[in-house]
Structure 1
Amino acid sequence: MINIGCHVSIAGSLAQAIPRAQERTCSTCQIFTCNPRSWKTKPLTAEAASTFRQAVEESGIAPVVAHMPYLPNPATPRPDVWEKSVSAIVEEVERCRMLGIPYLVTHLGSSLGSDAAAARERAITAIGKGVAAAEGEVIILLENTAGTQNSIGTTFEEIAMIMEGVEQYGPVGVCFDTCHAFAAGYDLRTAEATDSVVRHFDAAIGLSHLKIIHLNDTLSELNGRRDRHAHIGLGMIGEKGIRSVVTHPALRALPFICETPVDCRRNDRGNIACARKLAEEAGTGVPSHPTI
């Protein structure tokens, strides 16, 4: 059975995210450790961290993954925002260390129209400071982007360049988002296409660096450069494509985290159930993948 979950709310307290994950049948999950829409964060107490750790241990959910808040932009050319972004990354790493969270997912940011090479260097330095602060206890995961205007980290090659710079500070990994990848031009609609993307990823970055998959369908057409998530199997990737991801020999043992909509058609539990069903259909007429 695949290890799958979704992003869950921490409303009320961090520890309350865990029963929410259990209600959704998660075996892994993702959270924000603080308000994602504010620069100000409430200090994390030792008591709150201990309660959270205990809830995680008792649940058996693993891994619990944290995601950076929305406001930090490690690639920004604006000095004041860049400094605040660095502080936010370092602070988030410290919160993850207290909470026993092994992975912190971050977007690489936007150049805001400035020189792309300079934007990459700013992102390398900002994320590198977080990696140094982690001291190997928390692995920062670089997430691929959908290719929206001025975003960096859209191609595997660009992520590899940034990783090479960040690795001067310590270990770093990758979170692969299926919605973003498809929007950026990486076709995932068939077993053959997905295998080609996996081979490309391995050649450019290395599969050993891939730690988490954000399993999302998309409303964007292939190479449409729009970051618009859709229910599992109901978007442009479709059931056949999602099945090809969750059954690929190089991917199927990884944790999958859905960041899908909640509406009248389906909720988190429904999307997780759909992904599990597609994974269980392996061997029932599904084309086999070449082994990496």
Structure 2
Amino acid sequence: MVLVGCHVSIAGSIDLAVGRALDSGCDTFQIFSRNPRGWKAKDIDPDVAGAFRRALDASGIGPAVDHMPYLPNLASPDDAIYEKSVAALTDELRRCEVLGIPYLVTHLGHHRGAGTGTGQERVVAAINRALEEAGAQGVMLLLENTAGEKNSVGSTVADLCRIFEGIDGKERIGICFDTCHAFAAGYDLRTGEGVDAVLEEIDDLIGPGHLRIIHLNDCKGDLGSGLDRHEHIGLGSIGEEGFRHILSRPAIRGCPLICETPVDGRRGDDGNIAKVRELAGA
């Protein structure tokens, strides 16, 4: 048995996302709590938050996962962008608390030429500030690995470890592991040996128990390409055999699996969820 779901829309009202998740066959699901392409967000109406909580309780699925919007850059050397990014992270942690969402996934940003070490220091300071200012003790912030693109500060397990080590409230931090990003960054997930190697690296450098969510995505790019382009499960460069290896590992099977895969004429969200269950033998 695996818990698998997808990213669903909040169009119309956040509470409607729960029904959409059910319609897609989700056991778990991910949302943006607001427009992901803008800086400003309206406060969540208490009635809407209550409706979301009631719908989630009645659905029998979960956990719900929230994802940070696209614009914040916690590694930015630009002070204006950086301050807006810290404020956005702080606000999103509070929004999760209002909605009763236990996990917030964040990308770690890009240093824009300032250097990886400098960018990582900016991320650490941003997260420490946001966790302190937000409160939101019931919300765990998950650091997501990136695809090895230019100026990235969190593409390797060692990168994530350096950031993790600098954070004060480590009990409030976990890892969201994205399979597409890892493959694009050079982790070969097509073999059992490759999957075991990255899981062992996470345990050795960050510690057991910190892997909390899996973003389960195939990759359009080649191994080590740095290309952050998601593909349907089994139809990309990782392939079905790779996902059989991935989905056979207890450390991964024990985490909620979120597909952020395309919706097109080949397959929709329900099709990718069904494929994951097939490959997992669930």
Taking structure 1 as the reference length, the TM-score comes to 0.94
- Counterpart CA distance in 2 for 1:135 and 1:125 is 18
- 2:98 aligned partner: 98
Whether the aligned pair in 2 keeps the contact of 1:136 and 1:170 (CA below 8 Å) is no
- 1:288 aligned partner: none
Whether the aligned pair in 2 keeps the contact of 1:131 and 1:139 (CA below 8 Å) is no
- 1:79 aligned partner: 79
Would you say 1:31 and 2:44 are equivalent positions? no
- 1:17 aligned partner: 17
Q: Which amino acid aligns with 1:51?
A: A
Count of equivalent residues: 281
Whether the aligned pair in 1 keeps the contact of 2:116 and 2:152 (CA below 8 Å) is no
Cα distance, 1:134–1:210 mapped onto 2, change above 3 Å: farther
Aligned ranges for residues 168-247 of structure 1 at < 5 Å?
168=169, 171-247=172-248
- 2:255 aligned partner: 254
Q: Deviations over 1:102-123 (max 9, x none)?
A: 0000000000111221111111
- 2:8 aligned partner: 8
Q: Which moved more, 1:115-124 or 1:25-34?
A: 115-124
Residue 169 of structure 1: CA displacement? 7.0
Find the residue that maps to 1:211 and give its secondary structure.
strand
Unpaired runs of at least 5, structure 2: none
- 1:61 aligned partner: 61
Residue 170 of structure 1: CA displacement? 5.4
Q: Which amino acid aligns with 2:12?
A: G
Find the residue that maps to 1:250 and give its secondary structure.
helix
Q: Which amino acid aligns with 1:244?
A: H
Q: Which moved more, 1:93-102 or 1:39-48?
A: 39-48
Q: Which amino acid aligns with 2:32?
A: F
Residue 204 of structure 1: CA displacement? 1.6
- Counterpart CA distance in 1 for 2:237 and 2:131 is 35
- 1:40 aligned partner: 40
- 1:159 aligned partner: 160
Whether the aligned pair in 2 keeps the contact of 1:135 and 1:170 (CA below 8 Å) is no
Find the residue that maps to 1:225 and give its secondary structure.
coil
Residue 68 of structure 1: CA displacement? 0.1
Q: Percent identity?
A: 53
- Counterpart CA distance in 1 for 2:76 and 2:82 is 6
Find the residue that maps to 2:176 and give its secondary structure.
strand
Residue 224 of structure 1: CA displacement? 0.8
- Counterpart CA distance in 2 for 1:54 and 1:198 is 36
Would you say 1:276 and 2:261 are equivalent positions? no
Q: Deviations over 1:186-222 (max 9, x none)?
A: 1110222211221122112223111000000001111
Would you say 1:266 and 2:261 are equivalent positions? no
CA RMSD of aligned residues (A): 1.2
Taking structure 2 as the reference length, the TM-score comes to 0.97
- Counterpart CA distance in 2 for 1:251 and 1:167 is 26
Q: Which amino acid aligns with 1:280?
A: G
Q: Which moved more, 1:199-208 or 1:71-80?
A: 199-208
